[in-house]
Structure formats: C-alpha cells, structure tokens
Copies of this chain bind each other. A is one copy, B any other.
Amino acid sequence: MRIILRITNKIILFATFLGLAFSADQPKSLKATKTWVDKKGPIIIKDFVKLLSVPNVASDKVSIRKNAEYISSLFEKRNFEMQLLELDGANPIIFGELKTPGAKRTLCFYVHYDGQPVNESKWTHGPFEPILYDGPIDDGGKPIAIPKNRNNIDPEWRLYARSAGDDKAPIITILNAIDALQSSKIGITSNIKLFFEGEEEAGSTNLKAHLSKHRDLLDDIDIWLFCDGPMHQSRQPQLVFGVRGVTGMEITVYGATRSLHSGHYGNWAPVPGQSISELISSMKDVNGNVLVSGFYDTVEPLSEFERLELSKIPDVDEQLKKELGLVYTEGRSINERLLLPSLTIKGLSSGNVGKKARNVIPNSATAAIGVRLVKGNDPEDMLDKIEAHIKSQGFHIVYNAPDLDTRQNYPKIVKVDRSGSGYIASRTSMEDPNAKSIINAVKEYVGDDLILMPSLGGSLPLYLFTDYLKKPAIIVPIANHDNNQHAPNENLRIANLWYGIDLMGVIMTMPN
C-alpha cells in the first residue's frame, strides 16, 4: 500500500488517462473502445459478474466444463469458430478462431479460465458471488450496487471475485473489444486464435500434451499473447518478454547415525548445523554473488535495445527497501536481478529451535535451495554445477540416505535431492518483427509510460510456447498489481478493466 501512496501523483495522472483521456494521435480503435465503455459500462460489469459467478477451481470438473461451454458460447456469438480441445483426464482447452480476410498475421491469445482454489472462510464474501466495492476492502472500501447510469462509474472501484484478476479479466476485455470494434465498424487486422487453458492453477500438467496433440491448430500462429499476471507495481502499463525458469535441490548433511547429547559429544561429534552453514556460506560472496563455478556462464545477455528499455523501468529500489524494512540488498537493482540466475535458501532445518530446542547435536541438517534461471540456463546443468561445487567443498554426494558403510568411508556426506520439477526460462526478443508490431501499437496507445520488461521475476512454463512450439510469446498483463491474485478477496480495479478493453482493441487493429 505504502509504495502506491508514494507515487500517487503518477497514479492519478495515469488513472485519469486510463479511464478518460483521449487524443487525436492515438490509434483509431481507441475511440471505438472508449465510446463502448462509456455507453455500456454497467452492462460490461454485469457480464463480467456473470462470467465470474461460474466456479472455476480446476479440480471441479463439472463447473470447469460449464465455464468452457459458457465462454465458448460467448465467442460463438461473435462469429468465432469454437471447439473444446480434449485430452484424457485433462480439462478442455477452449480453442477459437476468427479469420480475417487478407490478414498477414495470426495472433493467439492465451488465457486460463481456471482459478486458484479458494478458502471461503477467509473471503469477505463468497468467491463466486462477485461484488462491486467503492475501493479496496483493505482501505475501507464498501460494497455498492452496479449503477444503472453509465456515467457514474468510478475507475477506482473494484470488482471482488475469484479470477477477477487472474485470469478471467482478459476474456471479458477481448469480448468487449470485439463488440466495440464491430459496433464502430472497425476491422480487425489479424487472424485471431484463442487458447484458453483450464488447469493453469493446477500446474499446467497437461499443457505440453495439449500443445503436442493439437499442434496442427497452432502451427500458423505468429505470436502468442500470454494474457496473465499483474501490471507493474508502479501501475504503469507493461509488456513482458519472458519469465524466469526454475529449479532447485534439497541438500542434507549428516552427523552421527543418531542425535547425540550435546554435553557428552560437544567438541567431538560433527555438528550438521555447522557443516551445512559452512557449505551454504561457500556458495555466495558477501555481495550475494554466487560462487558456484560457471553459475553465470550460460546467461544469454540482453540486446542493446533491451538494455536500453530496462534502464527506463522506474527504479523502485529505495521505496521497496523502505517498505520491506531493508538497508542491505544483494547488490543488484530490483530490475537488474532478473538478468542473472539466482540461488536462495528457501528452507533450513536441523533439530529444533524455540521451546522445542533440546540439548542435542542433531544427526542431520537440510537446506532447500531455490534456483531461478534466465535465458540460456539449463536446469540440469545448473544443478550439476551446484553438485560440482559441493564436491569441491570436500563432500561425497549420495542420492539416498547414506548407509553405515558409506558413513564409515566418507568424512563429509551430502545427500542431494533433485526430484523437484524444473524448467527453463523463456525470453522473446523485443526485436522480433511481430513483437515489434505489438510494442509499437501499445506504445501508440499508452505512450512512453509503457514498460518493456525483459522478464517476470516469477516462473511460468512459457518455454512451451517459445522453445517447444518455437514461437514468440509476450506477456500482456491487465490486472492491477494489487489484485490479491491467489489470495482471498481477489479483485479487479475497474480502471484496469477499461484499460484491458482499450488494449485488446489496439492489438486487434494494429497495422497488418
């Protein structure tokens, strides 16, 4: 919250801009979408309420199919050829196609129509009973009725419901952009495909199989628009050209075969909490640089253009540090952090602390190491490098708990557990021709405020599009950054709903 208040001036300007501003040098679709929103505001919100009222937790197969059928029907009404792509045991992909005569380009909108599981008791109201509020609940916002009068809608209002931000917002914005363009008789300039996943929040476990099975439907796609995730925390609009990959391992070091009395054995028995600390300590220097040999060797650098764009991203370091109570950070700016792989200790455990602490030397200590990857890093190769580092510190590596014989033969033993899943990072070049078209179109709409972010901090299996299907993919966020995604009281700010409709209109009408 605090950070937002500190950049209020910018927000107000931008909020105003998002909802209301309009000038002659902007794309022609904008007039259509703004007029549409202006006229149909209450109806758009009501339609969104209807869409959000269908429960959509991935494991609820009956409701998921209701969503799929309902959403398909909405697009069918807009002349899309729709089908549900099926795969045994998987939720269907809502697939749609709208052909544009003479179009030289095919855009595909990726959206996921399933939402995070809900813990109803933590919601102010039912997660599938969408309610409009006159501001964020956390800031004292109150529930209000959807106004009948189209002029009375405040863009700072918020609609609360599961998936309001993540990830049904893009669906309602695409639908309304199409309506707006049709109503103003403005032609769409690209072939449009829709690929709406129904189990993203359940881990996208069938995504690759879907892409593989239905590859013939996807081969002519020139660029994927990955409509998910929140906007930049400065509230400036952004396009994101990649995600970090992710991997990790758990390491366990061993002391004696059993916990030992710290009085009888202290000064003699090896102390696992000490050994693991020494090992972890060897992995980074005091500035947070990873000392694992070769850790940074496979990083694919940004282009000059991408570096330039990166340098323009608002520097929120000092604000973030203040908000998070930090003086020291690991020596890279919050934006630069995305350009290198990271190694962090996610968990650490040996014996007990607090009231459960006992006077023992525990028999083992475990650390969960998280590794985020950037373009160029291979997950297995990175873990191999960490293993090589562990060996260089004098440890013998095992992959199962060591037996007595192994313990009696090696002074220092680490068990490595690499069973966690992992995948590569993804990055689409900002200089890809189709990406460039999108950048230019969106820039025409939002101006120099547009942030071109080389990568999200988080990880998504975007590589399936960029490296498996070998197509460019850009993340196009719509939701407010404080949409409580994955949490109770998820919401979408109305200004972001309007922004999404404008944005979809701009993208669908960009020069051929």
Interface residues of A (CB under 8 A from B): 244, 246, 250, 254-258, 260-274, 276-281, 283-284, 286, 288, 321-330, 332-334, 336-338, 340, 342-354, 356-362, 365-368, 370, 372, 402, 404, 407-412, 456-459
Known contacts: A250-B357, A284-B274, A408-B322. The answer to whether A330 contacts B267 by CB under 8 A is yes
Extra inter-chain contacts (18) besides given A268-B337, A270-B326, A349-B349, CB under 8 Å = A256-B325, A258-B324, A261-B457, A263-B456, A267-B336, A270-B328, A274-B344, A277-B278, A277-B348, A345-B365, A346-B357, A347-B357, A348-B349, A348-B350, A348-B353, A351-B368, A352-B368, A357-B368
How far apart sit A183 and B195, CA to CA, in the bound complex (Å)? 100
Contacts of A266 on B, CB cut-off 8 Å? 337, 342-344, 370, 372, 457
A402 / chain B contacts, CB cutoff of 8 Å: 325
A333: chain B residues at CB < 8 Å are 268
Q: Which of B265, B353, B359 contacts A337 (CB 8 A)?
A: B265
Contact, CB under 8 Å: B346 / A367 = no
B residues less than 8 Å from A326 (CB atoms): 255-256, 269-270, 407-408
Q: Chain B nearest CB: distance from A257 CB in Å?
A: 4
Which residues on the B side are within 8 Å of A346 (C-beta)?
262, 273, 351-353, 357-362
Q: Can you pick out 19 interface pairs between chain A and chain B where the beta carbons lie within 8 Å of each other?
A: A246-B359, A256-B326, A257-B325, A261-B458, A262-B370, A262-B372, A263-B457, A263-B458, A264-B458, A266-B344, A267-B342, A267-B372, A268-B329, A273-B344, A277-B281, A281-B281, A348-B351, A349-B354, A354-B366
Number of copies: 2
Can you name the residue of chain B whose Cβ is closest to the Cβ of A258? B324
| Assembly CA distance A402 to B326 (angstroms) | 12
| B407:A325 contact, CB within 8 angstroms | yes
Closest to A251 in B: B353
Q: Which residues of B contact A365 (CB under 8 A)?
A: 345, 348
Which residue of chain B has its CB nearest to the CB of A374? B267
Q: Which residue of B lies closest to A334 (CB)?
A: B268
CB distance from A274 to the nearest CB of B (A): 5
What separation, in Å, do the CA atoms of A368 and B359 have in the docked complex? Answer: 10
The reply to whether A367 and B353 contact each other, CB–CB distance below 8 Å, is yes
Tell me, in angstroms, the Cα distance from A344 to B273 when the chains sit together.
Answer: 8
CB contact under 8 A between A345 and B277, given known A326-B407, A327-B408, A353-B368: yes
A270 touching B330 in the complex, CB below 8 Å, given contacts A276-B348, A347-B353, A347-B362: yes
Closest B residue to A329 using CB positions: B268
* Shortest beta-carbon distance from A203 to chain B in Å: 13
Q: How far is the CB of A337 from chain B (nearest CB, A)?
A: 4
Q: Which residues of B contact A353 (CB under 8 A)?
A: 250, 346-349, 366-368
**Given A262-B370, A359-B346, does the pair A281, B278 have CB atoms closer than 8 Å?**
yes
- A257 in contact with B324 (CB, 8 Å): yes
Looking at the assembled complex, report how far the CB atom of A280 sits from the nearest CB atom of chain B, in whole angstroms: 4
Contacts of A286 in B (CB 8 A): 278
- Minimum CB–CB distance from A373 to chain B (whole Å) comes to 10
Which of the residues B280, B337, B352, B410 comes within 8 Å of A327, measured between beta carbons? B410
The CA of A340 and the CA of B267, in the complex, are separated in Å by: 8
Shortest beta-carbon distance, A260 to chain B, in Å?
A: 7
Inside 8 A of A458's CB, which chain B residues have their CB? 261, 263-264
Q: Give the residue of B328, B337, B340 whose beta carbon is less than 8 angstroms from that of A412.
A: B328
Chain B residues whose C-beta falls within 8 Å of the C-beta of A367 in the assembled complex: 273, 353
**A280 vs B361: C-alpha distance in the bound complex, in angstroms?**
15
Chain B residues with CB below 8 A from A325, complex form = 254, 256-257, 402, 404, 407-408
Residues of B contacting A269 with CB < 8 Å? 324, 326, 329-330
Between A257, A353, A359, A404, the greatest number of chain B beta carbons within 10 A of the residue's beta carbon is seen for A353
